[in-house]
Structure 1
Amino acid sequence: MSLQIFILGVLSSGHHHPYDIKKMFKQNVLDDNSKINDGTLYYNFEVMLKKGYIEKIEVIRDDNRPEKTTYGITPFGKEHLQQEIYAIFKNFTRVDSLYSAVLFLKHVDPKKLEFLIEEAQEKLENKIKRDQAFWETVRDETPPAVHLIHDHASSQMKVDLQWLEKLKQLILEQQ
């Protein structure tokens, strides 16, 4: 999951400090592969601050606690968020690479997104056809374990294609 898209998406709804975003990330991310630590989180905030995507809003200082900086998204950051969401769909390779973008689809043009999803579906359909054609040429010469692996990979691509169709329908319903 793209942490920068997640941060920008959350900041599009209001000002937050990194700890808030870390808690939201843990609540919204359902896969075990996406984890963040404080170093990664703060590094991403610094990078986006330097690029002008976010800005410091307020620094709160408490006597007994470390200072807490609240951030907001800039107009440039909102534009960047849109472009990153489009880019993720345009460069589609796997469904799980889309997860962070799917959380913030309200920030993009649904018609443009529908087009990008259709392109992703076409890429995946072509990949399935190429895979099947290749498999036909090597199937009889491969051991049973390879058949099992191919069956899983082929099934996963078909499930991903179905998921993309469900996503497209969701977007069409929300228009």
Structure 2
Amino acid sequence: MSIQVFILSKLMVGKTYPYELKKQMSEPIPLDELGGITESKLYYHFDALSKQGLIEPVEIIKEEHRPDKQVFAITAKGREELPNKIYKLFKSANDLNDMVIALANIKYVDSEIVVTLLKEKLTNYKAHWERIMNFDNTSPRDEKSENLNDLLVGYFTTKSDHTIHWLEEAIRQIEQGNL
């Protein structure tokens, strides 16, 4: 879904084709490699968006000794659907890492709705973590089991604290109009 939001947001700015987007993603930081986005994935999602009627081919660029390039533009339906796809990204995200594309395109949605979604996500995350931390396992453990338990509790506590901190920071930045 984030690839589709990325494509639609790029088409909000202007027409493009899959190979051009792939080039843009690899310079100056190889975002394509970091996100595991291949050219074939881009073509797949361009095709999926086209079948949904959210984008359409508008021209074909022909170059000698090169494959034809099919250029796409966003449709009215695509402009209408982009905010819904962004909201879905926020709803389905587990942490800030899953929200990068949505946050980068927050200008296409109502920030108050995003704040509401993130506050709900934060409340649910904290409640879930509280239930886990209050679980009382009284089964007998040997020293290695206790060491493993301490290691895992430390890891997951740090991870949880990190997630909570950055969700709170994202909410704060959005509320202040910084994103």
Same fold? TM cut 0.5: yes
Aligned to 1:35: 36
Can you give the 5+ residue segments of structure 1 that lack an aligned partner in the other structure? none
For residue 104 of structure 1, report the CA deviation from its aligned partner: 0.8
Distance in 1 between the 2:139 and 2:26 partners?
Answer: 43
Q: Is the 8 A contact 1:88 1:98 kept in 2?
A: yes
Q: Find the counterpart in structure 1 of residue 72 from structure 2.
A: 71
Give the alignment's TM-score, normalised by structure 2: 0.86
Measured after TM superposition, the shift of residue 33 of structure 1 is 5.2
**Cα 1:158–1:69 shift into 2, 3 Å:** same
Structure 1 residues 151 and 74: CA distance shift in structure 2, 3 A: same
Q: Secondary structure at the match of 2:13?
A: coil
Give the AA of the match of 2:17.
H
Counterpart CA distance in 2 for 1:173 and 1:17 is 35
Q: Aligned-pair distance for 1:139? A: 9.0
Q: Say how many residue pairs are matched.
A: 174
Q: In the alignment, what sits opposite 1:167?
A: 170
User: Do the aligned partners of residues 43 and 32 (structure 1) sit closer, same or farther apart at CA in structure 2, a change above 3 Å counting?
Assistant: closer
User: Whose relative contact order is higher, 1 or 2, with alpha carbons under 8 Å and at least 6 apart?
Assistant: 1
Asked whether 1:112 is paired with 2:138, we answer: no
Q: CA deviation at 1:164?
A: 1.0
- Structure with bigger gyration radius: 2
Change beyond 3 A, Cα 1:164–1:138: farther
RMSD: 2.3
Could you tell which deviates more after superposition, 138-147 or 90-99? 138-147
Conserved in 1, the CA contact under 8 Å of 2:89 and 2:99?
yes
Identity value in percent: 29
Q: Please give the residue correspondences for 1:88-103 in structure 2 after superposition, counting only pairs within 5 Å.
A: 88-103=89-104
Amino acid at match of 1:22: K
**SS of equivalent residue, structure 2 residue 94:** coil
Q: Name the TM-score, length of structure 1 as normaliser.
A: 0.87
Residue equivalent to 2:128? 127
- Gapped runs of 5+ residues in structure 2? none
Residue 56 of structure 1, CA deviation: 1.2
Deviation at residue 127 of structure 1 after TM alignment:
1.4
Partner of 1:153: 156
Quickly say closer, same or farther: Cα 1:23–1:31, change in 2 above 3 A.
closer
